[in-house]
Amino acid sequence: MSDLKSQIIAQLNLQDTKPEDIGDDQPLFVDGLGLDSIDALELIVLLQQQYKIKLSNAEDGPKVFKTVRTMAEYIKAHQAQNA
């Protein structure tokens, strides 16, 4: 998950944030890290480019990107499928 955190920071230009600053179960959107809808789209790009996972239904976004942990779990589940 710390790799994922670094990737998130890079993809979203969170310049002043370090991986240690992001809790595994901290809400990424609304409160927490305060990400917005464009950030959500960039995370979709991240999934595609880094992990070759395609999230074609934007409505799944809130569930998948809720926390770093939910993202990591989603990646694990779908990488297994792709393999």
Binding site for other proteins (CB under 8 A): 12-17, 34, 36-39, 41-42, 44-45, 48-49, 58
Q: Which is nearer to other proteins, 4 or 40 (by Cβ)? A: 40
Q: Which is nearer to other proteins, 38 or 80 (by Cβ)? A: 38
Q: Tell me the closest approach of the beta carbon of residue 42 to other proteins, in angstroms.
A: 5
Mark 14-37 as b/e (b = at least 16 C-beta within 10 Å). beeeebeebeeeeebbeeebebee
Q: Which is nearer to other proteins, 59 or 81 (by Cβ)? A: 59
> How far is it, in rounded angstroms, from Cα 31 to Cα 35?
8
Q: Tell me the closest approach of the beta carbon of residue 53 to other proteins, in angstroms.
A: 12
Q: Tell me the closest approach of the beta carbon of residue 34 to other proteins, in angstroms.
A: 8
> How far is it, in rounded angstroms, from Cα 83 to Cα 6?
24
Query: Which position has the token pair 């979203």?
Result: 12
